[in-house]
């Protein structure tokens, strides 16, 4: 399902104008006019999807270039974000209905148990009344029938509960899987942009409420376009994936590494001041520099991978946007100064 931002019926004259602009945009950057690329280009020229527009503008300002890989990533993260939530809601509804069915079964069994108890009490009274031999046979038959029915009801309830438990475990597993998918970037296994935004708001709010230290890093793979142009998108994806693995290996459990978009990453560092954040950035920076990639088909050693990093620390009154802006400015300066370096917000001179 497409995000509601990304699916509207436009008037014919507007649609024709935007179609021309979207096509021109793709041709300008030598991007094949596939359905996905065209869809993102069309949404961009309409300027009605604020987040998508902002990301593309930032990419153009930073690199002056777009490619199909970047547009596909935007489509996957911004234009399909409703589908997984719908699936999750369906599974939660199924789990809810299953619990109601269990409750219904237990309630019904309790009613049957009450009837069995009433039968036992009635037959007990009959025994107290000095019954005849024929009456005793009737009481015995009634008790046998009631006991048999009670045993059948208990077996049915047990089967019902066992089936419900199996279904519940399956649904819970699906819910967890979908929640993980909703918050995870498929290529790197890191958190995705949606999860990042949510966690960012939580940490900024916590900082403003209790002044606990909180810093962020923004990382960009240097000259990433060269990997795509010279070796193809498969190698480019592998570079992104390996950098993501390094980040996960070097960070603490409490840290929050996310793929921000394309070859750019963000790391949220709760309980961390700017000095410690720089130290963490240096560890990641050095580990990436040691990365060795070999092209399997030719055994060719690929060029070294390096990253530029910008670091910023949350200030009282910050919003997620202002904090990200300072980290992004620091990253921009690191790239302006030649890349393959770390810049703290305190060093920012490009404004």
Tokens 């795509």 correspond to 228
Contact 55, 261 (CB under 8 A): yes
Query: Which residues face 301 on adjacent strands?
Result: 294
Mark whether 321 is an active-site residue.
Answer: no
Contact 233, 69 (CB under 8 A): yes
Take residue 165 and report the two structure tokens written for it.
């438990």
Contact 240, 187 (CB under 8 A): yes
Please give the Cα distance from 108 to 110 (Å, whole number). 5
Query: Which residues face 214 on adjacent strands?
Result: 270
Catalytic-role residue among 43, 263, 264, 345: 263
HEC string for the chain:
CCCHHHCCCCCHHHHHHHHHHHHHHHHHCCCCCCHHHHHHHHHHHHCCCHHHHHHHHHHHHHHCCCCHHHHHHHHHHHCCHHHHHHHHHHHHHHHHHHHHHHHHHHHHHHHHHHHHHHHHHHHHHHHHCCCCHHHHHHHHHHHHHHHHHHHHHHHHHHHHHHHHHHHHHHHHHHHHHHHHHHHECCCCCCECHHHHHHHHHHHHHHHHHHCCCEEEEEEEECCHHHHHHHHCHHHHHHHHHHHHHHHHHHCCCCCEEEEEECCEEEEEEECCCHHHHHHHHHHHHHHHHCCCCEECCCCEECCCCCEEEEEEECCCCCCHHHHHHHHHHHHHHHHHCCCCCEEEHHHCCCC
Q: Which residues are catalytic?
A: 263
């Amino acid at each position: 399902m497409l995000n509601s931002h990304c699916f509207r019926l436009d008037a014919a004259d507007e649609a024709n104008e935007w179609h021309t602009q979207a096509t021109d945009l793709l041709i300008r950057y030598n991007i094949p006019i596939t359905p996905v690329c065209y869809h993102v280009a069309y949404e961009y020229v309409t300027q009605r999807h604020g987040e998508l527009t902002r990301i593309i503008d930032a990419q153009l300002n930073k690199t002056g270039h777009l490619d199909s890989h970047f547009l596909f990533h935007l489509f996957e993260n911004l234009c399909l974000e409703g589908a997984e939530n719908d699936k999750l809601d369906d599974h939660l509804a199924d789990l809810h209905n299953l619990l109601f069915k269990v409750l219904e079964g237990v309630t019904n069994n309790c009613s049957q148990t009450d009837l069995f108890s009433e039968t036992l009490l009635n037959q007990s009274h009959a025994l107290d009344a000095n019954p005849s031999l024929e009456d005793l046979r009737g009481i015995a038959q009634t008790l046998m029938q009631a006991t048999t029915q009670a045993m059948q009801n208990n077996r049915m309830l047990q089967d019902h509960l066992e089936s419900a438990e199996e279904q519940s475990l399956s649904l819970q597993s699906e819910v967890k899987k979908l929640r993980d998918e909703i918050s995870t970037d498929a290529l790197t296994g890191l958190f995705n942009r949606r999860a990042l935004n949510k966690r960012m708001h939580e940490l900024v709010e916590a900082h403003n409420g209790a002044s606990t230290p909180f810093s962020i890093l923004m990382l960009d793979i240097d000259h990433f376009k060269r990997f795509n142009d010279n070796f193809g998108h498969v190698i480019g994806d592998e570079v992104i994936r390996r950098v993501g693995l390094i980040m996960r290996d070097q960070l603490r459990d409490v840290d929050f590494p996310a793929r921000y978009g394309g070859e750019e990453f963000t790391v949220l560092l709760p309980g961390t001041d700017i000095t410690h954040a720089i130290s963490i950035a240096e560890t990641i920076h050095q580990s990436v520099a040691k990365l060795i990639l070999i092209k399997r088909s030719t055994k060719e050693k690929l060029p070294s991978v390096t990253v530029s990093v910008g670091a910023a620390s949350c200030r009282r009154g910050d919003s997620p946007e202002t904090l990200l802006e300072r980290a992004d400015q620091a990253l921009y300066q690191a790239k302006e100064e030649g890349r393959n370096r770390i810049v703290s917000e305190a060093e920012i001179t490009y404004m």
